[in-house]
Chains A and B, each alone.
Chain A
Amino acid sequence: MLRILYFAWLRDQLGCPGETLPLPQGVRSVQDLIDRLRARGGAYGEIFARPELIRVAVNHSFATIDAPVAANDEIAFFPPVTGG
């Protein structure tokens, strides 16, 4: 199962900290996954139409939009970090 996590204002706006789902057919990259999430419309449509606001991690490492996604991966979407 694919595990998707949302942090900070993404989670607030989506109203959900994450979800687990089977790897959707045809999803091979982070970009594919973003396209699927955007197609849900509503808050997902708004947020994932602006990928420049989002950072992504695949299995705890920062990743680019063209990074591959496989079944059982953990994909996290979040805003640029502001710690320290």
Chain B
Amino acid sequence: MSCVTVRVQAEAFDVTHETALLLRGREDVGGVGAFTGIVRGGGGLVALELEHYPGMTESMMRQIAESACTRFGLTGCTVIHRVGRLEVGMPIVLVLCAAAHRKAALDGTEFMMDWLKTSAPFWKREEFSNGRSEWVQPRAQDDAATARWGTLGT
């Protein structure tokens, strides 16, 4: 039985703590794949404002996480996405995938990030140092990256 944790929150997350929770009481884990997304600066960007659709966002994140567990045989996974105003350099998203072997843990992590970017309802607005603010446009390469996995399969 795999253990899935899904959260949307304004607060920061603690990777060490979340990893410990994923390993607690288990002896079948051989590795944990981890990805932490960070607000990348450049072009005068000061911060991102993250918005989501309460209810649907969590439901899509859970579908993605459960699909990753089934597809890669994960012992568990955790996905935490932050919302609200996040300044350059701040962590924005965490994906952890625990599995018996490395490949499943790393592939599961990539799978979850690709699907999160294209099918979990979050929207980013960029805030620049000159006071300008604009909504981020979706990128075709994100769709292409997700397409290689086929369907979500839930």
Contact = CB atoms under 8 A, between A and B. Distances in A.
Contacts of A83: 50, 52, 81, 93, 116-117, 120-124
Given A8-B51, A9-B135, A81 B37 contact: no
A79 interface: yes
A81 B136 CA distance: 9
B55 A60 contact: yes
Interface string A43-84: 000000000000001001110000000000000101111111
A19 B127 CA distance: 28
A12 to B, nearest CB: 8
A58 B147 CA distance: 23
Interface residues of B, number: 26
B81 A82 contact: no
A83 B136 CA distance: 9
B9 interface: no
Contacts, number: 66
Interface in B11-58: 37, 50-53, 55-56
B2 interface: no
A82 B56 contact: no
Interface string B60-78: 0000000000000000000
Q: Which of A57, A76, A80 has the most CB of B within 10 A?
A: A80
B138 A84 contact: no
A76 B125 CA distance: 19
B113 interface: yes
B5 interface: no
A62 B151 CA distance: 14
Given A81-B119, A81-B123, A82-B138, 4 more contacts: A8-B123, A79-B138, A82-B117, A83-B121
